Structures are given as structure tokens and as C-alpha cells.
Structure 1
Amino acid sequence: MQTVILAGGTGKRVFPLAVNKPKPMFKILGKPLIQHVIETVKEAGLKDFIIVIGHNGEQIKDYLADGSQLGVSIEYTVQKEALGMANALETTKDLVKDNFFVVNADDIFESSLIKGMTKQFKKSGAEIILSCKPVEETWKFGIIQIENDKVTKFVEKPPKGQEPSNMAVVGVYVLTKKIFDYYKKIPVSDHQYEDAIQRFIEDKNMVRAVSYDGFFAGYKYPWDLFSINEYLMDTHVKKQTIEGGVDVSERAQVEGNVWIQRGTRILEGACIRGPCYIGSNSLIGNNSLVRDYSSVGNNCVVGFSTEIKHSLIGDNCWFHTNYIGDSVISDNCLFGAGTITANFRFDEKNVKLRIEGKEVDSGTDKLGAIVGDNCKTGINACLSPGTRIGPHSIVGPGVNLQGDLEPGKIIFIDRKSYVVTENRITISSEKK
């Protein structure tokens, strides 16, 4: 069976992480999210993929090519405008054969989900298979009603009190080519895909559901990366692995489940406390500390007395005497000495961000900075909880940044004048 991977979205809600690259190309454990998805589906026995690309999609195509390096086959279609899931699937109608899986390029789940849905498809004879799990906040999800093992209703984000059940649809589907005929009957909208399935059900076609209780996380907001990272570390970093060519000082500490890639150096006094991942050809400097589900990319320098806690660091990043907590730092960033990411509010409330004109609760009281590619900070800069910095931006020395900084901007403290007077204090070299 073929698998369609949807990778055409613009990623506005994860600003600034998808300005320069597609959302599924964010790396965790040295691999883009879309590669993790492909490997999970392949583990379930499926090897034929169609990837729908859009915003900066050529980066995905350049990286994955025809899939042969991963032991799979990949074809591509292009979604020219981000007009929703149904529109994305329309681009594949000349390539798909009979029934096919649909997954999102940045949803992380267990291979058991694909295996269970495949088994149900073969056993039941249903033309569409949905996956589902119970939720409390039903109004945030697509909700299905199940009677006698058959799906009888599919409602996207039902109003409170009007939910047909508490079973939410998980973002993995088995569809039939017939669904394309139903798209033609439904007006284009954000719910066109869900409405088409509901119409399919109303026409007495068989739709079944598979209950799933394993791990599932979607990358909708920047902080979703933390739970994804924790899951991937727990499943891929189960022991201490130090690759060839790694130089660990006898006076450094490496504790717990830690994966260190080739060519990396761990200097005297450094401590890595797992679970952690360190990429290749990086340097963990004197008296630095990397801990608690932190991931450091390739060719990074974690300089003297820097602490990185529960954070995701891209490739080619440099730090010196910094505190990086609960933060996401993209590729090619340089933090001046003394820059810190504040990650906890004085009132101990959850950190909230303004996204697409609405205030969004991150659901956590620990959230630092979200920094795009190619950014720099000066000495002693402070990035307040939930600060977001667009790519190619600079935060000047001593700036206390709160809120967002758009791409390509520089922010400095405006010092229009200084006062210089005579020194009337005697400076003595004698010790008292």
C-alpha cells in the first residue's frame, strides 16, 4: 500500500522555525522530522511514498531524493497554495492506486499504529480506516461516533455539549480513491477533508476506526518539539553511545543515556547529564553543562561555563558563558558572553505567546526563547520567556528583549549621550 505524506504547509504557527525551511525539516537526533516519519512507516512494512511539498519544498526533495538511501521509493507532487488537506491530497490523485495511507510529515507516532490499521483494513473490508483515541477537550479535535464497530459520524471541532463522543481522530488515515469524487461535492474550506468523509459515511460506505493508545504528537507550535524530542530520545538513546573519534577528557563527566557523534570533543570540567544527544564535530567546553533532554547539533561550540537545559540546538551554533533553558535555537546562531534565556515567569504562570493575532497558552510554565536561523546576540542580552526571534536578526548588548523580533531586524539600546566627569576618587594599589 502507498503512503501519502503531507508536507506542504507554511508553518506560520511555528514562527520563526519555518521561515527559511519547511516545518518537517526541523532536525531532532540529527534527522529531519519527515525522515523519522518515513522510517516509522517503513518499520511497519510500507515502502512506497508520495510526498506533497509546498513552501520551500525543494529542500525536502533535495534531502530525500528518490528515497533509495533510506530503502524506500519516493515520488513528489506540489501543492501550489496552502488550501488545506483536501487540496493537498487532490495533487496525488493520478499517482495513488486503490487504497492508501495518509500521514502528516511532522507527526510522530509508533509503527504499531500503521500495523494495527493495516490489519483492520485487511480484516474488515472497509474502504476508509480512521485511527482514534479518547480525549477530554473534544472541541479541539475531529470527533467520531462509533456504533457496532462502524464509524457513523465525523465532526470537526464540535461545539461544547454537542460532541458525538470523546473519541478524537488521530492524524493517520487509510483512504480510498473514491474520496476524490467527494471532494468535488464539498465547498473548499478548512473542513473540506472532514466534510467529505462525513458525506462518504452518509452514503452508506463502510468506515471503521482503530483505537490507538500509543505515543502521538503533532508539531503545531514550537513547544511541541519538546515532547517529540523526549519521545525520540527515550526510544533511540537507551544507553550511553560514544562514536569513534570522540575525545572525552578524563576530567569530564558523561552520565546516563547519552549519544555523542563522531569527532566531538568534551573538555575538562564539562558535564553531560543524559538523556542527551551531541552531534558530530562539536565541542563541549570547560565547565559547561548539557542536561535533561538537550540536543546539540553538528559543528557547535558550547563554550566555557555555558549551561544548556532541556533545549534543542541546531547546527553551527556558538555559545560562551550562556544559560539556555527550555529553548529552541536554530542553525548558525551565535550568543555573546552573558546572554541568557529566561524561562520562568515571576508569577509562575504558564508562558503565553501571541500567534496569528491570538494569545496562545503554551501549557507550560517553563519556556525560554525560540530563535530562527542566522541570529546573533551581544554580551549580556536577556531573552524573556516566550521570546521569538526571526531569522537573520541581531539582539544588541544589554538588551532585555520581550515578545517577538521580526526577521532581518537589529535591536540596540538607544544611548544618545553619556556623562563624563573628573575622577575625584583616589585609586590606591595598596591592599587594606
Structure 2
Amino acid sequence: MKAMILSGGRGKRLRPVTDTIPKPLIRINNKPLIEWKINYLKKFGIKDIIICSGYKGKKIENYISKKNNFGCNIEYSIETTPLGTAGAIKKAIKNIVDDSFIVLNGDIITNINLKKMMAKPNCIAAIELRTNYGTMKIKNNKIIQFNEKTDVKNIWMNGGIYHLSTDIIKILPAKGSIEGIVFPKLAKKNSLNTVKFKNVLWRSIDSHKDVETCSKEMIQKKYMKFILKG
């Protein structure tokens, strides 16, 4: 099975670092995001990878080339103008010959079990909603419980990991968001599946604070050991 890593974003909230390097080369515990993603895929036996790049994409290619492609077969699908997640997938899907493929958002660090995803096509990894703010349980206008920075139980969010059928090309726009355009159509047809994951490492790297928090969480949850065992 092939996998796509969506790595075309500019990472504006990570400036000034991303003024000189693309977001996938932001380092988490001394390794770029893109390296963590490739090693993560290898952990599950996926070594055929398409990197969908755009902003400063040549720097990503140069880094991976210096690492001898990490023992993988790596191809590139390059956007000359931003296409959005759906457009990026549509552009790259011509390189997929199997019936289905994996898609990963390039700015996520996780230990979600991809094997559980592979059993269902047109499937989204779901994780419990997380908030960086304190949540409150209220009764009769009195706060009876206060939880600092916690998961919101039984509210599920899109984890940015997909197992998609190649048939999805029929409804992919040339430009736009798969989350905003394609997934609502599939959901309306009752054709969108999910696998729920609880108590997993999951962190989206959107800010400098995320880099710091993720680095600590990876060590605490022994994610680096999880990857190295692969």
C-alpha cells in the first residue's frame, strides 16, 4: 500500500523559522517532522510514499535525498500553486495503482495504529477532542468541577489520517479541502467510516508552543522508542 504525506503548507504560525525552511523540516526532538512521518509509515510496513509538497519543497527533497530516502521508494507531487488537501490528493493519485491508499497530514505526530485503519476504506482516524483550555462542569450556575487542559469525552475529532479508496478521484475537486468538500458528501451518502482511538499520542504542530509540548509528550509517552523499534 502507498501513502501520501500532505506537506505543502506554509506554516505561517511557525514564523520566523518557516521563512527559511518548510514546515516539514521543523525539528521535533532533533528530527524533522517529515522524518518522523516516514519512520512512522515504515513502522507499519509502508515504504512506498508520495510526498505532496509546495512551499520550499525542494528543501524537503534535498533533505530526504541526503538520507538516502530512508530505505523507501519516495516520489514527489509538487504544487506550483496551493491546491488544498483535496487538490493535492487529486494531483498525486495518478501515481496510485492499488485500490486504496493512506493519507497523512504532514504536521501530525502520533502513534495511532495504522493496521486498524487499513481494514476499512474511506475511513478517518478519530480521536477524542482535545482542548488547551480548562473545561468546567456546571450545575445551577455553579462550577462543580474544573478540569485543566483535558480531553472532551465522547466528542470526536478528525485525526488527519485517512485510508481512502482510489474511487474517490471521481469526487475530488482540482482545488479545495477534502475535509470541507469531499468528506461531507461521503457522510451524506453514509459512505464515510471511522476508527476511534483513545489514549494515544496525537499532536498537531501548528505553533512554537506545539513544538515544545510535543517534544515533551513524545518522551513521556515513549513514542521515540515506539518508532525506533520499527
User: Is the TM-score greater than 0.5?
Assistant: yes
Looking at structure 1, the residues matched to 23 and 195 of structure 2 have their Cα atoms a distance apart, in angstroms, of 28
Paired amino acid for 1:129: C
Looking at structure 1, the residues matched to 89 and 113 of structure 2 have their Cα atoms a distance apart, in angstroms, of 21
Would the aligned equivalents of 1:182 and 1:200 in 2 still touch at CA under 8 Å? no
Count of aligned pairs:
200
Query: Structure 1 residues 177, 65: closer, same or farther in 2, change over 3 A?
Result: same
Structure 1 residue 131 corresponds to structure 2 residue 117: no
Looking at structure 2, the residues matched to 23 and 183 of structure 1 have their Cα atoms a distance apart, in angstroms, of 25
Structure 1 residue 196 corresponds to structure 2 residue 197: no
Would the aligned equivalents of 2:6 and 2:106 in 1 still touch at CA under 8 Å? yes
Would the aligned equivalents of 2:201 and 2:218 in 1 still touch at CA under 8 Å? no
TM-score, normalising length: structure 1: 0.43
Q: Which residue among 166, 184, 202 is the counterpart of 1:216?
A: 202
Task: Name the residue aligned to 1:403.
Answer: none
Task: Name the residue aligned to 2:59.
Answer: 59
Between structure 1 and structure 2, the one with the greater Rg is 1
Structure 1 residue 29 corresponds to structure 2 residue 29: yes
Q: Which residue among 151, 157, 173 is the counterpart of 1:168?
A: 157
TM-score, normalising length: structure 2: 0.78
Deviation of 1:204 (Å): 4.7
Q: What are the within-5 Å matches in structure 2 for residues 156-305 of structure 1? A: 166-184=155-173, 189=176, 191-205=177-191, 207-213=192-198, 214-234=200-220, 235=222
Would the aligned equivalents of 1:5 and 1:51 in 2 still touch at CA under 8 Å? yes
Looking at structure 2, the residues matched to 65 and 170 of structure 1 have their Cα atoms a distance apart, in angstroms, of 29
Would the aligned equivalents of 1:11 and 1:23 in 2 still touch at CA under 8 Å? yes
Looking at structure 2, the residues matched to 83 and 50 of structure 1 have their Cα atoms a distance apart, in angstroms, of 16
Per-residue deviation, residues 68-101 of structure 1 (Å, max 9, x unmatched): 5522110001011223211211220210232110
**What is the percent sequence identity of the aligned residues?**
25
Paired amino acid for 2:193: R
Q: What are the within-5 Å matches in structure 2 for residues 367-382 of structure 1? A: none
Q: Which structure 1 residue ranges, 4+ long, deviate > 4 Å from structure 2?
A: 66-69
Structure 1 residue 109 corresponds to structure 2 residue 98: no
Deviation of 1:66 (Å): 9.3
Unaligned runs of 5+ in 2: 132-153, 226-230
Q: What are the within-5 Å matches in structure 2 for residues 305-316 of structure 1? A: none
RMSD in angstroms over aligned alpha carbons? 2.3
Paired amino acid for 1:15: R
**Greater relative CO, 1 or 2 (CA 8 Å, sep 6+):** 2
Q: What are the within-5 Å matches in structure 2 for residues 318-357 of structure 1? A: none
Deviation of 1:113 (Å): 2.4
